[in-house]
Chain A
C-alpha cells in the first residue's frame, strides 16, 4: 500500500521504493481511486493541454475582464521581456502566469491548480522550465504529478481555500507545487523537492486574500506573475543545495495556524486589506452600483 500524509512520508516512500515522487503519487491514485497509470497520464496530459491553451491565449490577451480592472498586462510585459533587469526567462514567466490569470478573469477555461485564483503559477513556471530544458511531454506530465502530491499534503494538513487560510493557502500552495515540479523536471532528489516546497511556502506565509471588490483580479493577476518567479527561485535554491531550516511539513503546519489566526476580513470576504483601501472601496462602489 502506498500511503503518505506528509511531505516527509512522501519523500521516504520515494526513497524506500527507489522511485520518483511522481511515481509515488501515481501509485497512491491507482490504489485509492482505481485509475490505471495510463488513464491517469491521459487525464494529466489533457490538463496540460488546457494549461497550454490558456498560456497561449493569455500571452495574446487584449480582452478586459467584465469589471475592466484587468486584461492586457501580460501582453505588455511580454513585449518588454528583452529589456528588463531580471532577464528574459523571468519576464516571460511572469508574463505568462499573468496571462493565464487574465484568461481566468474573463471567465475563460483554465485548470484549477490548486485553485482558479492561483491558476497561472504552476503552468507558467513549468512551461518556462520545460522550454529551457527541452523537456519531453512525458517529463512535464511527471512533474505535474509531483505538484499534485504536494498540493494533496497541504490540503490534508492545512487548506487550499483562500476563504479558510488566506492567499497563502492558494498562491502559497501553488508556489510549493510549482517549485516541486521544477525540481522533479531537473532531476533533483526527493529531499531537494522537500526543500523547494519549504522555501517556496515559507516566504508566502501570512499572505492575505483581500481582492478588490471580491473579484479574482486585483491583486491576483499580477500576483500570479510574481509568484511564478518566486517558485522558480525556490527550485533553483533547492537545486543549488540550499536547505530550509524549517522542514516543509512544519511550514505547512505554520501556514495552517496562521490561517486560523487571520481575521475573516482578509480571507476572501473583500472586507479588509486592499479591498478596504480608498481606491478599493471606490472601485467596488462603482462596479456594483
Chain B
C-alpha cells in the first residue's frame, strides 16, 4: 500500500498529477539513470499521454525532469525554452505499445559523452510512477527507494556475493528483482533499499568478478519527508 504522503501530496505545479507531476518524476528518473547531462531526448508517448500531452504540459514536465527539476519547481512552465537554450534537443512522437499502461512514456536519452539509455515507465496516478524497462531489461522501480542496479554475467552465486556486500554495510533490502535476456549471458539485478547507498558500496559491487557495471540511483521521491 502507498503511504500517506503519496496520496495527500505531492506539493506540485499543476495541472495534472499523473500528466505533470508524474511525468516530471519519469524524466528525473531517466536523467538519473543516464547519469550525465542529456543533450538529446527522443520521447515516445502511448495512450492518454499521446492524446493529451500538450494540454497537460507533459512535454514540459518530462523535459524539466530530465534537466533535474522537481515537481514543485516553478521553472517547469518554461522548461522547453530552457532546454533549447541549454542545448538539449528533444522530440515527441505518439506510439502504440500493446498492453502498456495508458500513461506510458519511453525516453531515449543521449548524454554529453555519447552514452545512450532507453527507459520505459508509466505514471500510475497521483504523481506516482513505475519504471518498467531499462534498455532490454524488465525492471520495477518506483523512485521511492534508493536503488542499486547491477548488470552482470548470469552465473551461479552472484546474488549471494552482492547481498553479502549489502549485509556488510548493514543495508536492508526493500525489494529485489533479477532478470536476464538469455541463460548464461547478461543479467540485471535491481535492489531497492531502505537506506542510502554510498560510493564505497557501489565500488565493492563493481569489483565482483561477474559484475559488468554497477551503479546507484538515489530516491527521487519523498524529499519533503527527509528529516
Contact = CB atoms under 8 A, between A and B. Distances in A.
Given A147-B8, A151-B8, A152-B7, A112 B51 contact: no
Contacts of B87: none
Given A47-B8, A103-B14, A214-B52, A109 B1 contact: no
A67 B48 contact: no
B13 A108 contact: yes
Contacts of A169: 125
B15 to A, nearest CB: 4
* Interface band, chain A: 35 or more
Contacts of B124: 161, 164
A254 interface: no
Interface string B91-120: 000000000011100000000000000000
A162 B225 contact: no
B10 A111 contact: yes
Interface stretch (A32-40, A80-88, A232-240): A32-40
Interface string B170-198: 00000000000000000000000010000
A155 B17 contact: no
Given A115-B16, A269-B51, A29 B4 contact: yes
Interface string A189-228: 0000000000000000000000101111100000000000
Nearest to A220: B15
B51 A109 contact: no
Interface in B1-37: 1-21
Contact of A271 (B5, B21, B51): B51
Contacts of A267: 48, 102
Given A32-B3, A35-B225, A109 B8 contact: no
A114 B2 CA distance: 12
A107 B58 CA distance: 12
Contact of A46 (B3, B4, B11): B11
Interface string A90-112: 00000000000001111111111
A258 interface: no
A229 interface: no
A144 B7 CA distance: 11
B48 A109 contact: no
B77 interface: yes
A107 B77 contact: yes
B102 A114 contact: no
A44 interface: yes
A155 B2 contact: yes
A35 B72 CA distance: 22
B210 to A, nearest CB: 33
B126 A152 contact: no
A172 interface: no
Contacts of B51: 214, 269-271
B4 A264 contact: no
A117 interface: yes
A105 B14 contact: yes
B65 interface: no
Interface in B69-99: 72, 74, 76-77
B146 interface: no
Q: Which of A32, A156, A160 has the most CB of B within 10 A?
A: A160
Contacts of B55: 67, 213-215, 270, 287-288
Interface string B44-56: 0001100110111
A45 to B, nearest CB: 12
27 contacts: A32-B1, A35-B225, A39-B225, A40-B4, A46-B11, A105-B15, A107-B15, A107-B57, A109-B11, A109-B13, A110-B14, A111-B8, A112-B21, A115-B16, A116-B16, A117-B15, A117-B17, A152-B4, A153-B1, A164-B101, A211-B52, A213-B55, A214-B52, A214-B54, A216-B15, A268-B52, A271-B51
Given A33-B225, A117-B16, A162-B18, 18 more contacts: A109-B12, A115-B17, A115-B126, A116-B14, A116-B20, A147-B8, A148-B5, A152-B6, A161-B18, A161-B126, A162-B125, A163-B102, A164-B125, A211-B52, A217-B15, A264-B48, A267-B48, A267-B102
Interface of A: 5, 25-26, 28-29, 32-35, 39-40, 43-44, 46-47, 50, 67, 103-117, 119, 122, 144-145, 147-149, 151-153, 155-156, 159-164, 169, 211, 213-217, 264, 267-271, 287-288
Q: Which 9 A-B pairs have the closest CB atoms?
A: A161-B125, A214-B52, A104-B14, A151-B7, A112-B17, A216-B15, A214-B55, A215-B55, A116-B17
